[in-house]
Structure 1
Amino acid sequence: MKNIIEIDTEKAVLAFDPEIGMFRGEFIGLNGSADFYAESVQSLIEEGRKSLAVFLDMCREKNIEPHRSFSGKFNVRLEPRDHAAAVFAAAAEGKSLNEWVSDTIKVAAAA
């Protein structure tokens, strides 16, 4: 089960906060914080829409790009044994380590 929903084309991660007894959502592809809380899933979606609208309005007013940009590059630190295992797995599939990691992430992120 993935705790991600899409609200007005933006993806948000959902969680339940037992300390306050509410669901929490946070948009993950934005240039700033736009989180929202509610006691039911339907209310959470409604609050998400409101939070997103406020965030996007503020970005327009301040002439700020609302979406984060991603370079396509990131560093991963692994235990040497895990690094070796990944190299062997990539070679077994006839791929470079970069291709293998990229393909593995695509599969895991789509599930």
Structure 2
Amino acid sequence: MNNIMEINGHKAVIQYDPETEMLRGEFIGLNGGADFYADNVAGLHEEGAISLQTFLDVCKEQGIEPYKHYSGRFNVRVSPSIHAAAVAAAAANNISLNEWISKTLDRAVQAG
């Protein structure tokens, strides 16, 4: 995936910050902010590891669960024509719309 970096098994979104003229990383799936800055990729890895460890240490000290929990459920709004096409695709594969969407999302995230 573009702009995703993995640091110590945790994914972070990387973006360019024009105000600081640096690269900014922010970890995904944490119960709080753990961002980091650097002007190069090696620096992002170093600063990200420090930021992540600091975040995890503070959570441990304060008895806070560091990770968000996902229910596996979310609502998606699409146009009626996309909804109809998805229902037809699911039926053509002899599976439910929910299963078709789940499989389609899985393929998309695996492809990056």
TM-score after normalising by structure 1:
0.94
Deviation >3 Å, runs of 4+: none
Partner deviation per Cα, 1:10-42 (whole Å, 9 max, x = no partner)? 111111223322111110011111111110011
Partner deviation per Cα, 1:33-82 (whole Å, 9 max, x = no partner)? 11111100110111100100110011001100101000011111111111
Count of matched residue positions in the alignment of Structure 1 and Structure 2: 111
Equivalent runs, 1:41-56 vs 2, <5 Å: 41-56=41-56
Instruction: Give unmatched runs, 5+ long, in structure 1.
Output: none
1:11 paired residue number: 11
What is the SS of the residue equivalent to 1:16?
strand
- Within 2, Cα distance between the matches of 1:16 and 1:91? 43
Instruction: Give unmatched runs, 5+ long, in structure 2.
Output: none
* Residue 81 of structure 2 is aligned to residue 63 of structure 1: no
Q: Which moves more between the two structures, 99-108 or 18-27?
A: 18-27
Equivalent runs, 1:22-33 vs 2, <5 Å: 22-33=22-33
2:79 paired residue number: 79
- Within 1, Cα distance between the matches of 2:103 and 2:67? 24
Give the AA of the match of 2:22.
M
1:104 paired residue number: 104
- Within 1, Cα distance between the matches of 2:92 and 2:22? 46
* Residue 27 of structure 2 is aligned to residue 36 of structure 1: no
Q: What is the percentage of aligned positions where both structures have the same residue?
A: 59
- Within 1, Cα distance between the matches of 2:41 and 2:94? 44
Q: Which moves more between the two structures, 9-18 or 36-45?
A: 9-18
TM-score after normalising by structure 2:
0.93
- Within 2, Cα distance between the matches of 1:73 and 1:36? 30
Q: What RMSD, in angstroms, separates the aligned Cα atoms of the two structures?
A: 1.1
Give the AA of the match of 2:69.
S
